[in-house]
Amino acid sequence: GQNIDQPTEMTATEGAIVQINCTYQTSGFNGLFWYQQHAGEAPTFLSYNVLDGLEEKGRFSSFLSRSKGYSYLLLKELQMKDSASYLCACMDSNYQLIWGAGTKLIIKP
Amino acid sequence: ETGVTQTPRHLVMGMTNKKSLKCEQHLGHNAMYWYKQSAKKPLELMFVYNFKEQTENNSVPSRFSPECPNSSHLFLHLHTLQPEDSALYLCASSQVDTSSGANVLTFGAGSRLTVL
């Protein structure tokens, strides 16, 4: 079956760096997405990786290794507003999105 | 108004009620989606409309009935729901382009449904 695994919850300190991991098993692969969802709000698109390597966007970076079925989202210089859930989703060979359950990130001062 | 708008934001209904959720997108996208989000579970895709044609129905119970009158509006009609249907219902839209694969979804803020 198809499956996405990511940690349920993580805690980090303001100003620090945190890495949120995501492993996937899907029927084919057409890219991996990360979304951010603040409590009570819409998920918003953060990144899309389809080739191996690191994509950097300001304080956020996303990494993909297709051979390992693995991705991570790296958040630097953490701010309190980064407290949110981070959703990993993989697009399979039929262009269907397979979602993880999300990682709730708690930032402490 | 821009983005994806969902109404109502909160809805409480009894098991015998009939209600509808509404979604409107102002992005010119050609696909719209209904997702169910329950606590600590992955997003569950319920329905997909491409160019107003329903292309996905992931074994959703018939007490949920979608309607897509045009490419900008999407409804989810609710009838005889069960308490386990209580969840956040998210609408999303996208511009589908299978040649690039990067089908980025724009979500609404959701309708929080409680079934008593």
β partners of residue A33:
A48, A89
Q: Per-residue pLDDT averaged across B91-98, rounded?
A: 85
Q: Which of A41, A43, A100 sits opposite B42 (nearest CB)?
A: A100
From A91's Cα to the closest Cα of chain B, the distance in A is 8
Question: What's the first-to-final CA gap in chain A, in angstroms?
Answer: 40
In chain B, whose CA is at the least distance from the CA of A99?
B42
| Contact (Cβ atoms closer than 8 angstroms) between residue A12 and residue A107 | yes
β partners of residue A99:
A89
Enumerate chain A positions whose Cβ falls within 8 A of a Cβ in B. 4, 8, 30-31, 33, 35, 40-45, 48, 50, 87, 89, 91, 95-102
**Are the Cβ atoms of B102 and A31 closer than 8 angstroms?**
yes
**Are the Cβ atoms of B40 and A33 closer than 8 angstroms?**
no
Q: Residue A23, class by beta-carbon neighbours within 10 Å (0-12 exposed, 13-18 middle, 19+ buried)?
A: middle
pLDDT band for B75, please (50, 70, 90 cuts).
Answer: very high
What the block records as the tokens of A69 is 């079925």
Q: Per-residue pLDDT averaged across A42-52, rounded?
A: 96
Q: Which of B42, B104, B107 sits opposite A99 (nearest CB)?
A: B42
Q: What is the Cα–Cα distance from B22 to B10, expressed in whole angstroms?
A: 12
Reduce the DSSP state of residue A91 to 3 states and report it: strand
Structure confidence at residue B51 (pLDDT):
74
What the block records as the tokens of B52 is 């107003």
Distances (CA, A) of A14 to A9, A78, A79, B57, B73: 16, 5, 5, 43, 41
**Are the Cβ atoms of B105 and A87 closer than 8 angstroms?**
no
Whether residue A29 has pLDDT greater than 80: yes
Per residue in A32-41, pLDDT (tens digit) is 999 999 998 9
**Are the Cβ atoms of B101 and A4 closer than 8 angstroms?**
no
Structure confidence at residue B103 (pLDDT):
84
pLDDT band for B28, please (50, 70, 90 cuts).
Answer: very high
Task: Report the 3 state secondary structure along A14-26.
Answer: CCCCEEEEEEEEC
Task: Tell how far CA B82 is from the center of its chain.
Answer: 18
| Contact (Cβ atoms closer than 8 angstroms) between residue B25 and residue B90 | no
